[in-house]
């Protein structure tokens, strides 16, 4: 079709942003034939200026990800544990949006890398959106949000070299012994999922559930992949990352396109509130799992992803998930990491997408209207029309319910820094050692080889010694083998 013919195409004429028909989208307007370009060419100016502003800040972590919509269905009666309405009836369905991601890489990085995977879920419930912003790992590297920026700096590019540096990564881990459990997990067989469909997810933190009588339970979420776990070896991942940097993103989209809808079985571990104080370790410590022997995983539902977003920028890049998005019957625990995250995400959204990010189609509640007195700001959609913008008012505006979403936490004592209640097994190494000892001989071999490979890039002996010492404290054999493997690689 010639350029002239496009004006007659069925889509109608090409227009400027203000709707005026465009005569020529191929040539700038010039002063005479072959002369300089004119300032009056508003189409040219509009196109160049819009293009310059196409990008928004990428997520400071989890920049690279893929999303899909689907449905969550309740499969068990949990009403004695939570009054959340979307969990109130077997068979009840709720729309969900999921975004899976890697953590350290920037937007253009490859998918097949050794890195935790983000596992973020948004449930569009009739009581507002509930976000569960988890990972594919049940634990995390640190237990206090105050260490998060430092930790992430070591995962990102060094200020001098501009690359991720093994020195920084293992220096921080070596000096943060609480990371030993998660690092053992990350360098083991599950450290590089084959795709987003073939991994489990975890809420990781402990959350509060409250039933209709106000009774409190502590819960941990588990999302078991129905596709089965599939992972890549380091060599397979290195090859795939080079050949198909978009491997995870493509896999998710294509499986949904061909009707092969991925699904996960949702389970929870439930601890009655009274058991927390005397549990053998702090049940709000994100570096530890609750052994299933103590608190078995009970199935409560399933979710399936069955619809691809149509516009990645609008629906995935601009999607926002916040651990602070709770609904009645679900709330936070005193986990220090979670408490930090309750602030961090909304703040990131206001910076990255803007003050009205919650109004975008992917982010706003779908099963209920957001109804409050926040107004205006960049990109405000004017949804409130002429309604009064203050509360209380005598004009029938929305009013507070008087009923908090979750139960208050009992606290005592003075404000302190760095103190958490002591439990008998508040130890950084026990669970890392248990994980190592659970592995088969082959798994141990691969774990040691993966870790040694990564550590061989460390330039300083003291950093290496400290890092290896953490694994030795988890298990003597682990430390010994790692030391030998690193020495062999460094010659
Ligand atoms: C993304 C902060 C720990 C899972 C983010 C973002 C920030 C952040 C600022 C980007 C948000 C955005 O721009 O939309 C923090 C802080 C943490 C922390 C301060 C520690 C205190 C964790 C933990 C998990 C996690 C422990 C999982 C258990 C995620 C996921 C995303 C994310 C899945 C991507 C969400 C999406 O797909 O949009 N985090 N994070 N983070 N974080 Fe964290």
Q: What residue segments make up the domains of the chain, in order of their start?
A: 37-159+193-368
Beta carbon of 37 within 6 Å of any ligand 1 atom: no
Give the 3-state secondary structure of residue 302. Answer: strand
Q: b/e for 339-359, b at 16 or more Cβ within 10 A?
A: bbbbebbbebbeebbbebbbb
Instruction: Tell me which architecture the domain covering 37-159+193-368 has in CATH.
Output: Beta Barrel (2.40)
Query: Can you tell me the distance from the alpha carbon of 410 to that of 286, in angstroms, rounded to the nearest whole number?
Result: 20
Q: List the beta bridge partners of residue 134.
A: 119
Q: Report pLDDT for 2.
A: 54
Tokens (6 digits) for 189: 């067989």
Q: How many Cα neighbours within 13 Å face the side chain of 148? A: 18
Beta carbon of 62 within 6 Å of any ligand 1 atom: yes
Is 450 a residue of the active site?
Answer: no
Helix boundaries (H) for 331-475: 336-352, 430-438, 441-455, 461-474
Stated pTM of the model: 0.96
Of ligand 1's listed atoms, the one at least distance from the Cα of 202 is 28
The rounded Å distance from CA 164 to ligand 1 centre is 19
Query: Can you tell me the distance from the alpha carbon of 278 to that of 426, in angstroms, rounded to the nearest whole number?
Result: 12
Query: Can you tell me the distance from the alpha carbon of 262 to that of 92, in angstroms, rounded to the nearest whole number?
Result: 19
The rounded Å distance from CA 277 to ligand 1 centre is 28
The rounded Å distance from CA 133 to ligand 1 centre is 7
Q: Is the peptide bond before 379 cis (omega within 30 degrees of 0)?
A: no
To test the ligand 1 pocket, which listed residue (60, 61, 99, 101) has its Cβ within 8 A of the most ligand atoms? 61
Whose Cα sits closest to atom 28 in ligand 1? 134
- Asked if 111 contacts 241 with a C-beta cutoff of 8 angstroms, the reply is yes
Is 349 a residue of the active site?
Answer: no
Q: Report pLDDT for 3.
A: 47
Beta carbon of 64 within 6 Å of any ligand 1 atom: no
- Asked if 237 contacts 191 with a C-beta cutoff of 8 angstroms, the reply is no
Of ligand 1's listed atoms, the one at least distance from the Cα of 100 is 37
- Asked if 89 contacts 314 with a C-beta cutoff of 8 angstroms, the reply is no
CB neighbours of residue 14 within 10 Å: 15
| Segment (H or E) for 389 | none
Q: Report pLDDT for 413.
A: 85
Q: Looking at 27, 50, 52, 62, which residue is catalytic?
A: 62
The rounded Å distance from CA 352 to ligand 1 centre is 13
Beta carbon of 320 within 6 Å of any ligand 1 atom: yes
Name residue, tokens 């570096």. Answer: 287
The rounded Å distance from CA 61 to ligand 1 centre is 7
The rounded Å distance from CA 457 to ligand 1 centre is 28
Whose Cα sits closest to atom 5 in ligand 1? 61
Segments in the chain below pLDDT 50: 1, 3, 7
Alpha carbon 369 to chain centroid distance? Answer: 25
């Amino acid at each position: 079709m010639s350029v002239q013919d496009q004006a007659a195409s069925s889509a109608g004429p090409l227009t400027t942003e203000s709707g005026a028909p465009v005569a020529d989208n191929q040539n700038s307007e010039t002063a005479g034939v072959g002369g300089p370009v004119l300032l009056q060419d508003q189409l040219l100016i509009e196109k160049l200026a819009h293009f310059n502003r196409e990008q928004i800040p990428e997520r400071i972590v989890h920049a690279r990800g893929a999303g899909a919509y689907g449905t969550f269905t309740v499969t068990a009666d949990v009403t004695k544990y939570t009054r959340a309405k979307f969990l109130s009836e077997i068979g009840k369905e709720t729309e969900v949006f999921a975004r899976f991601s890697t953590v350290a890489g920037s937007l253009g990085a490859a998918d097949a890398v050794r890195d935790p995977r983000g596992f973020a879920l948004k449930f569009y419930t009739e009581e507002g959106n509930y976000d569960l912003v988890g990972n594919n790992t049940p634990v995390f590297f640190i237990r206090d949000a105050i260490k998060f920026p430092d930790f992430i700096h070591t995962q990102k590019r060094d200020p001098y070299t501009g690359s991720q540096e093994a020195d920084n990564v293992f220096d921080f881990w070596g000096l943060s012994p609480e990371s030993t459990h998660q690092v053992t997990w990350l360098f083991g067989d599950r450290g590089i999922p084959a795709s987003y469909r073939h991994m489990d997810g975890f809420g990781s933190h402990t959350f509060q559930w409250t039933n209709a009588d106000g009774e409190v339970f502590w819960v941990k979420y588990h999302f078991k992949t129905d596709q089965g776990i599939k992972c890549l070896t380091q060599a397979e991942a290195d090859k795939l990352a080079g050949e198909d940097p978009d491997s995870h993103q493509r896999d998710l989209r294509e499986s949904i396109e061909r009707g092969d809808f991925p699904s996960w079985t949702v389970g929870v571990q439930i601890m009655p509130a009274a058991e927390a104080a005397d549990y053998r370790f702090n049940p709000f410590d994100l570096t530890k799992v609750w052994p299933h022997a103590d608190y078995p995983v009970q199935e409560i539902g399933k979710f399936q992803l069955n619809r691809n977003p149509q516009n990645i920028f609008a629906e995935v890049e601009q999607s926002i998930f916040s651990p602070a998005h709770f609904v009645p019957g679900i709330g936070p625990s005193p986990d220090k990491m979670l408490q930090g995250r309750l602030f961090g995400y909304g703040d990131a959204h206001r910076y990255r997408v803007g003050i009205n990010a919650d109004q975008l189609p992917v982010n706003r509640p779908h099963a209920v209207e957001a109804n409050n007195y926040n107004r205006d700001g960049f990109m405000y959609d004017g949804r409130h029309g002429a309604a009064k913008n203050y509360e209380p008012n005598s004009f029938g505006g929305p009013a507070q319910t008087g009923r908090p979403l979750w139960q208050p936490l009992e606290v005592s004592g003075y404000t302190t820094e760095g103190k958490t209640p002591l439990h008998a097994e508040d130890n950084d190494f026990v669970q890392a050692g248990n994980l190592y000892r659970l592995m088969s001989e082959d798994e141990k071999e691969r774990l040691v080889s993966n870790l040694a490979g990564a550590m061989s890039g460390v330039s300083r002996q003291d950093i290496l010694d400290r890092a290896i010492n953490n694994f030795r404290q988890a298990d003597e054999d682990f430390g010994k083998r790692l030391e030998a493997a690193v020495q062999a690689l460094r010659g």
